Structure 1
Amino acid sequence: MSEEKKSYTISIYTENNIGLLNRVSAIFQRRHINIESLTTSQSEIEGVNRFVIVVNISESQAKKIVGQFEKQIEVIKAYYHTEDETIFTESCMFKIKSELLFEEPQIQNIIKESNTRIVTVNKEFFVLEKSGRRHEIEALRRDLNVFGIMQFVRSGRIAVTKDEMKITEMLAAFNN
Protein backbone atom coordinates (compact mmCIF):
# COMPACT_ATOMS: atom_id res chain seq x y z
CA MET A 1 0.00 0.00 0.00
CA SER A 2 1.50 3.32 -1.02
CA GLU A 3 1.25 6.34 1.24
CA GLU A 4 -1.02 9.21 0.30
CA LYS A 5 0.77 12.14 -1.32
CA LYS A 6 -0.22 15.62 -0.27
CA SER A 7 1.11 19.14 -0.20
CA TYR A 8 3.84 19.75 2.40
CA THR A 9 5.57 22.99 3.25
CA ILE A 10 9.20 22.33 4.14
CA SER A 11 11.03 25.05 6.07
CA ILE A 12 14.81 25.01 6.21
CA TYR A 13 16.69 27.42 8.46
CA THR A 14 20.23 27.94 7.20
CA GLU A 15 23.37 29.98 7.24
CA ASN A 16 23.53 32.14 4.13
CA ASN A 17 26.12 30.22 2.10
CA ILE A 18 26.87 30.13 -1.62
CA GLY A 19 25.90 26.89 -3.33
CA LEU A 20 23.31 25.84 -0.76
CA LEU A 21 20.41 26.23 -3.21
CA ASN A 22 22.09 23.70 -5.53
CA ARG A 23 22.43 21.17 -2.71
CA VAL A 24 18.82 21.74 -1.60
CA SER A 25 17.46 21.19 -5.11
CA ALA A 26 19.74 18.16 -5.62
CA ILE A 27 18.07 16.37 -2.68
CA PHE A 28 14.72 16.70 -4.44
CA GLN A 29 16.17 15.89 -7.85
CA ARG A 30 17.73 12.61 -6.64
CA ARG A 31 14.31 11.51 -5.38
CA HIS A 32 12.53 12.66 -8.58
CA ILE A 33 10.40 15.13 -6.59
CA ASN A 34 9.15 18.24 -8.34
CA ILE A 35 9.33 21.50 -6.36
CA GLU A 36 5.98 23.31 -6.66
CA SER A 37 7.37 26.55 -5.23
CA LEU A 38 10.53 27.75 -3.49
CA THR A 39 11.02 31.01 -1.64
CA THR A 40 14.04 32.08 0.34
CA SER A 41 14.42 35.08 2.62
CA GLN A 42 15.91 36.25 5.87
CA SER A 43 14.28 34.62 8.91
CA GLU A 44 13.31 36.27 12.18
CA ILE A 45 16.96 36.02 13.30
CA GLU A 46 19.69 38.21 11.79
CA GLY A 47 22.09 36.21 9.61
CA VAL A 48 19.80 33.17 9.30
CA ASN A 49 17.89 32.49 6.09
CA ARG A 50 14.77 30.41 5.61
CA PHE A 51 13.79 28.35 2.59
CA VAL A 52 10.05 27.68 2.19
CA ILE A 53 9.56 24.81 -0.25
CA VAL A 54 6.24 23.32 -1.35
CA VAL A 55 6.18 19.73 -2.62
CA ASN A 56 3.57 17.00 -3.16
CA ILE A 57 4.93 13.93 -1.40
CA SER A 58 4.10 11.31 1.23
CA GLU A 59 4.74 11.93 4.92
CA SER A 60 7.52 9.32 5.01
CA GLN A 61 9.24 11.12 2.12
CA ALA A 62 8.88 14.43 3.98
CA LYS A 63 10.52 12.92 7.10
CA LYS A 64 13.41 11.51 5.06
CA ILE A 65 13.99 14.77 3.21
CA VAL A 66 13.99 16.83 6.42
CA GLY A 67 16.51 14.35 7.87
CA GLN A 68 18.70 14.75 4.78
CA PHE A 69 18.61 18.53 5.07
CA GLU A 70 19.64 18.43 8.70
CA LYS A 71 22.80 16.50 7.69
CA GLN A 72 23.90 19.51 5.60
CA ILE A 73 26.50 21.56 7.49
CA GLU A 74 24.82 24.93 6.85
CA VAL A 75 21.34 23.73 7.85
CA ILE A 76 20.43 24.69 11.41
CA LYS A 77 16.98 23.04 11.47
CA ALA A 78 14.41 21.74 8.99
CA TYR A 79 10.68 21.10 9.42
CA TYR A 80 7.75 19.87 7.37
CA HIS A 81 4.13 20.90 7.81
CA THR A 82 0.79 20.14 6.17
CA GLU A 83 -1.36 22.93 4.76
CA ASP A 84 -3.64 22.64 7.82
CA GLU A 85 -0.68 23.42 10.11
CA THR A 86 0.32 26.62 8.30
CA ILE A 87 -0.96 30.04 7.33
CA PHE A 88 0.27 30.73 3.84
CA THR A 89 -0.09 33.05 0.87
CA GLU A 90 1.43 33.88 -2.50
CA SER A 91 1.69 37.19 -4.33
CA CYS A 92 1.45 38.04 -7.99
CA MET A 93 1.62 40.97 -10.37
CA PHE A 94 -0.10 41.58 -13.71
CA LYS A 95 0.96 44.15 -16.31
CA ILE A 96 -1.92 45.17 -18.59
CA LYS A 97 -2.39 47.84 -21.30
CA SER A 98 -3.61 51.12 -19.73
CA GLU A 99 -6.34 51.76 -22.28
CA LEU A 100 -8.17 48.66 -21.01
CA LEU A 101 -8.49 50.17 -17.53
CA PHE A 102 -10.60 52.97 -19.00
CA GLU A 103 -12.25 51.18 -21.94
CA GLU A 104 -13.29 47.93 -20.21
CA PRO A 105 -15.53 48.57 -17.19
CA GLN A 106 -15.43 44.83 -16.46
CA ILE A 107 -11.73 45.12 -15.53
CA GLN A 108 -12.58 47.62 -12.79
CA ASN A 109 -15.20 45.17 -11.46
CA ILE A 110 -12.65 42.34 -11.50
CA ILE A 111 -10.17 44.51 -9.57
CA LYS A 112 -12.78 45.39 -6.91
CA GLU A 113 -14.23 41.89 -6.54
CA SER A 114 -10.84 40.20 -6.27
CA ASN A 115 -9.35 42.64 -3.71
CA THR A 116 -6.59 43.43 -6.17
CA ARG A 117 -4.45 46.53 -5.74
CA ILE A 118 -3.35 48.89 -8.52
CA VAL A 119 0.39 49.43 -8.00
CA THR A 120 1.06 51.89 -10.83
CA VAL A 121 -0.61 53.41 -13.87
CA ASN A 122 1.04 55.20 -16.79
CA LYS A 123 0.19 55.89 -20.44
CA GLU A 124 1.25 52.44 -21.68
CA PHE A 125 0.30 50.04 -18.89
CA PHE A 126 -0.96 49.53 -15.37
CA VAL A 127 0.22 46.98 -12.81
CA LEU A 128 -1.99 45.00 -10.44
CA GLU A 129 -0.87 43.19 -7.31
CA LYS A 130 -2.76 40.39 -5.57
CA SER A 131 -1.94 38.28 -2.53
CA GLY A 132 -3.84 35.13 -1.69
CA ARG A 133 -4.13 31.41 -2.24
CA ARG A 134 -2.97 29.83 -5.49
CA HIS A 135 -6.56 29.14 -6.66
CA GLU A 136 -7.53 32.82 -6.15
CA ILE A 137 -4.54 33.99 -8.19
CA GLU A 138 -5.29 31.46 -10.94
CA ALA A 139 -8.95 32.57 -11.08
CA LEU A 140 -7.86 36.20 -11.42
CA ARG A 141 -5.39 35.23 -14.15
CA ARG A 142 -8.18 33.46 -16.08
CA ASP A 143 -10.45 36.52 -15.71
CA LEU A 144 -7.77 38.97 -16.90
CA ASN A 145 -6.46 36.69 -19.67
CA VAL A 146 -9.58 37.51 -21.70
CA PHE A 147 -8.35 41.12 -21.98
CA GLY A 148 -4.69 40.30 -22.61
CA ILE A 149 -1.92 40.17 -20.02
CA MET A 150 1.38 41.78 -21.03
CA GLN A 151 3.31 40.20 -18.15
CA PHE A 152 2.48 37.94 -15.20
CA VAL A 153 4.63 36.82 -12.27
CA ARG A 154 3.74 34.85 -9.14
CA SER A 155 5.87 34.37 -6.04
CA GLY A 156 6.42 31.13 -4.26
CA ARG A 157 4.55 30.40 -1.06
CA ILE A 158 5.39 32.22 2.12
CA ALA A 159 4.17 30.55 5.30
CA VAL A 160 4.17 30.66 9.07
CA THR A 161 3.05 27.83 11.35
CA LYS A 162 -0.14 27.98 13.40
CA ASP A 163 1.62 26.38 16.37
CA GLU A 164 4.52 28.07 18.14
CA MET A 165 7.88 26.89 16.84
CA LYS A 166 10.84 26.73 19.21
CA ILE A 167 13.15 27.70 16.36
CA THR A 168 13.52 31.30 17.60
CA GLU A 169 15.24 30.25 20.84
CA MET A 170 17.34 27.72 18.92
CA LEU A 171 18.39 30.36 16.38
CA ALA A 172 19.16 32.91 19.09
CA ALA A 173 21.44 30.33 20.77
CA PHE A 174 23.03 29.57 17.39
CA ASN A 175 23.67 33.26 16.78
CA ASN A 176 25.49 33.81 20.13
Structure 2
Amino acid sequence: MKKEWFTISVYSENNVGLLNRISGIFLKRHINIESLNVSKSEIDNVSKFTIVVYTTEKWVRNIVGQIEKQIEVIKAFYHTDDETIYQESALFKIASNLLFDERQIQNIIKESNSQIVTVSREFFILAKSGRRYEIDEMYEQFKPFGIMQFVRSGRISVTKDEMQISTLLKEFQHN
Protein backbone atom coordinates (compact mmCIF):
# COMPACT_ATOMS: atom_id res chain seq x y z
CA MET A 1 0.00 0.00 0.00
CA LYS A 2 1.20 3.48 -0.76
CA LYS A 3 1.59 6.21 1.81
CA GLU A 4 -0.55 9.33 1.56
CA TRP A 5 -1.80 12.21 3.71
CA PHE A 6 -4.77 11.53 5.97
CA THR A 7 -6.74 13.84 8.24
CA ILE A 8 -8.12 12.07 11.31
CA SER A 9 -11.07 13.72 13.06
CA VAL A 10 -11.72 12.60 16.62
CA TYR A 11 -14.88 13.71 18.43
CA SER A 12 -14.61 13.32 22.19
CA GLU A 13 -15.49 14.50 25.63
CA ASN A 14 -12.99 17.08 26.87
CA ASN A 15 -11.08 15.05 29.46
CA VAL A 16 -7.60 15.37 30.94
CA GLY A 17 -5.13 12.78 29.64
CA LEU A 18 -6.91 11.87 26.40
CA LEU A 19 -4.36 13.68 24.24
CA ASN A 20 -1.57 11.73 25.92
CA ARG A 21 -3.30 8.40 25.28
CA ILE A 22 -4.06 9.29 21.65
CA SER A 23 -0.45 10.34 21.00
CA GLY A 24 0.67 7.05 22.58
CA ILE A 25 -1.28 5.15 19.90
CA PHE A 26 0.83 6.85 17.21
CA LEU A 27 4.05 6.39 19.21
CA LYS A 28 3.55 2.61 19.47
CA ARG A 29 3.25 2.39 15.68
CA HIS A 30 6.16 4.77 15.00
CA ILE A 31 3.87 7.12 13.04
CA ASN A 32 4.67 10.80 13.29
CA ILE A 33 1.86 13.29 13.88
CA GLU A 34 2.53 15.98 11.25
CA SER A 35 -0.11 18.39 12.56
CA LEU A 36 -2.44 18.49 15.57
CA ASN A 37 -5.26 20.84 16.43
CA VAL A 38 -7.84 20.56 19.20
CA SER A 39 -10.89 22.79 19.36
CA LYS A 40 -14.57 22.83 20.19
CA SER A 41 -16.72 21.21 17.52
CA GLU A 42 -20.11 21.88 15.97
CA ILE A 43 -21.61 19.76 18.77
CA ASP A 44 -22.10 21.30 22.23
CA ASN A 45 -19.63 20.05 24.86
CA VAL A 46 -17.75 17.93 22.30
CA SER A 47 -14.12 18.56 21.33
CA LYS A 48 -12.62 17.81 17.93
CA PHE A 49 -9.05 16.65 17.42
CA THR A 50 -7.74 17.18 13.89
CA ILE A 51 -4.65 15.03 13.35
CA VAL A 52 -2.64 14.86 10.12
CA VAL A 53 -0.47 11.82 9.35
CA TYR A 54 1.43 10.46 6.36
CA THR A 55 0.89 6.72 6.27
CA THR A 56 -0.99 3.92 4.52
CA GLU A 57 -4.76 3.47 4.62
CA LYS A 58 -4.27 0.15 6.43
CA TRP A 59 -2.37 1.89 9.25
CA VAL A 60 -4.75 4.85 9.50
CA ARG A 61 -7.75 2.49 9.67
CA ASN A 62 -6.01 0.57 12.47
CA ILE A 63 -5.16 3.79 14.34
CA VAL A 64 -8.73 5.10 14.11
CA GLY A 65 -9.96 1.77 15.53
CA GLN A 66 -7.55 2.09 18.47
CA ILE A 67 -8.57 5.71 19.09
CA GLU A 68 -12.25 4.74 19.19
CA LYS A 69 -11.51 2.28 22.01
CA GLN A 70 -10.75 5.23 24.31
CA ILE A 71 -13.73 5.70 26.67
CA GLU A 72 -14.08 9.47 26.08
CA VAL A 73 -14.01 9.16 22.28
CA ILE A 74 -17.44 9.40 20.69
CA LYS A 75 -16.36 8.71 17.11
CA ALA A 76 -13.24 8.96 14.95
CA PHE A 77 -12.98 9.26 11.16
CA TYR A 78 -10.23 9.52 8.59
CA HIS A 79 -10.25 11.30 5.25
CA THR A 80 -7.89 11.89 2.35
CA ASP A 81 -6.96 15.42 1.31
CA ASP A 82 -9.37 15.16 -1.65
CA GLU A 83 -12.26 14.58 0.76
CA THR A 84 -11.59 17.67 2.89
CA ILE A 85 -11.26 21.41 2.73
CA TYR A 86 -8.37 22.45 4.92
CA GLN A 87 -6.05 25.30 5.81
CA GLU A 88 -3.22 26.21 8.12
CA SER A 89 -2.18 29.61 9.44
CA ALA A 90 1.28 31.02 10.04
CA LEU A 91 2.87 34.12 11.53
CA PHE A 92 6.16 35.53 10.25
CA LYS A 93 8.21 38.09 12.23
CA ILE A 94 10.52 40.05 9.91
CA ALA A 95 12.85 43.02 10.51
CA SER A 96 11.01 46.29 9.77
CA ASN A 97 13.82 47.84 7.73
CA LEU A 98 13.26 45.12 5.09
CA LEU A 99 9.69 46.28 4.57
CA PHE A 100 10.97 49.64 3.36
CA ASP A 101 14.40 48.75 1.92
CA GLU A 102 13.63 45.57 -0.02
CA ARG A 103 11.11 45.97 -2.84
CA GLN A 104 10.94 42.18 -3.17
CA ILE A 105 9.48 41.91 0.37
CA GLN A 106 6.52 44.07 -0.66
CA ASN A 107 6.04 41.89 -3.75
CA ILE A 108 6.06 38.70 -1.67
CA ILE A 109 3.44 40.15 0.67
CA LYS A 110 1.21 41.21 -2.21
CA GLU A 111 1.58 38.00 -4.23
CA SER A 112 1.05 35.72 -1.22
CA ASN A 113 -2.19 37.41 -0.12
CA SER A 114 -0.80 37.67 3.40
CA GLN A 115 -1.77 40.35 5.91
CA ILE A 116 0.40 42.71 7.90
CA VAL A 117 -0.80 42.25 11.48
CA THR A 118 1.41 44.82 13.19
CA VAL A 119 4.40 47.05 12.46
CA SER A 120 6.91 48.42 14.96
CA ARG A 121 10.31 50.07 14.56
CA GLU A 122 12.09 46.73 14.98
CA PHE A 123 9.82 44.23 13.24
CA PHE A 124 6.57 43.58 11.42
CA ILE A 125 4.29 40.56 11.67
CA LEU A 126 2.70 38.88 8.66
CA ALA A 127 -0.20 36.43 8.87
CA LYS A 128 -0.74 33.89 6.12
CA SER A 129 -3.55 31.34 5.85
CA GLY A 130 -3.63 28.66 3.19
CA ARG A 131 -2.44 25.23 2.22
CA ARG A 132 0.78 23.91 3.72
CA TYR A 133 2.68 24.28 0.44
CA GLU A 134 1.66 27.97 0.19
CA ILE A 135 3.07 28.68 3.64
CA ASP A 136 6.20 26.65 2.80
CA GLU A 137 6.70 28.69 -0.39
CA MET A 138 6.37 31.96 1.52
CA TYR A 139 8.82 30.69 4.14
CA GLU A 140 11.38 29.86 1.43
CA GLN A 141 10.93 33.33 -0.14
CA PHE A 142 11.54 35.10 3.20
CA LYS A 143 14.37 32.83 4.35
CA PRO A 144 17.16 34.66 2.45
CA PHE A 145 16.12 37.96 4.09
CA GLY A 146 16.05 36.49 7.61
CA ILE A 147 13.03 35.37 9.56
CA MET A 148 13.16 36.53 13.18
CA GLN A 149 10.38 34.16 14.29
CA PHE A 150 8.00 31.74 12.58
CA VAL A 151 5.06 29.70 13.85
CA ARG A 152 2.52 27.56 12.04
CA SER A 153 -0.81 26.28 13.32
CA GLY A 154 -2.08 22.77 13.02
CA ARG A 155 -4.42 21.95 10.16
CA ILE A 156 -8.05 22.87 10.46
CA SER A 157 -10.41 21.03 8.16
CA VAL A 158 -13.99 20.21 7.31
CA THR A 159 -15.18 17.39 5.12
CA LYS A 160 -16.77 18.03 1.74
CA ASP A 161 -19.53 15.54 2.58
CA GLU A 162 -21.68 15.72 5.71
CA MET A 163 -19.87 14.22 8.69
CA GLN A 164 -21.41 10.92 9.71
CA ILE A 165 -21.35 12.01 13.35
CA SER A 166 -23.92 14.73 12.59
CA THR A 167 -26.22 12.10 11.06
CA LEU A 168 -25.66 9.70 13.96
CA LEU A 169 -26.52 12.39 16.51
CA LYS A 170 -29.67 13.46 14.60
CA GLU A 171 -30.86 9.84 14.57
CA PHE A 172 -30.08 9.50 18.29
CA GLN A 173 -32.02 12.70 19.12
CA HIS A 174 -35.08 11.51 17.16
CA ASN A 175 -35.25 8.13 18.97
* Aligned residue in 1 for 2:92: 94
Specify the SS of the correspondent of 2:94: strand
* Aligned residue in 1 for 2:162: 164
* Aligned residue in 2 for 1:18: 16
* Aligned residue in 1 for 2:47: 49
Q: Which stretches of structure 1, 4 residues or more, deviate above 4 A after TM superposition?
A: 171-174
Distance 1:28 1:71 in 2: 14
1:24-173 maps to which residues of 2 (within 5 A)? 24-171=22-169, 173=172
Distance 2:43 2:133 in 1: 32
The alpha-carbon deviation at position 168 of structure 1 amounts to: 2.5
Specify the SS of the correspondent of 2:125: strand
The amino acid of 2:95's aligned partner reads: K
Which structure 2 residue ranges, 5 or more long, are not aligned?
none
Tell me the percent identity. Answer: 63
Which structure 1 residue ranges, 5 or more long, are not aligned?
none
Q: How many residues were matched structurally?
A: 172
Specify the SS of the correspondent of 2:145: coil
The amino acid of 1:37's aligned partner reads: S
Distance 1:149 1:113 in 2: 18
Given that 1:95 and 1:128 are in contact with CA atoms closer than 8 Å, whether structure 2 keeps it comes out as: yes
TM-score by length of 1: 0.94
The alpha-carbon deviation at position 166 of structure 1 amounts to: 2.9
Q: Deviations over 1:102-138 (max 9, x none)?
A: 1111101110001011011111110000011111111
The amino acid of 2:166's aligned partner reads: T
Given that 1:45 and 1:171 are in contact with CA atoms closer than 8 Å, whether structure 2 keeps it comes out as: no
The alpha-carbon deviation at position 169 of structure 1 amounts to: 4.6
* Aligned residue in 2 for 1:5: 3
Change (3 A) 1:95 1:171: farther
TM-score by length of 2: 0.94
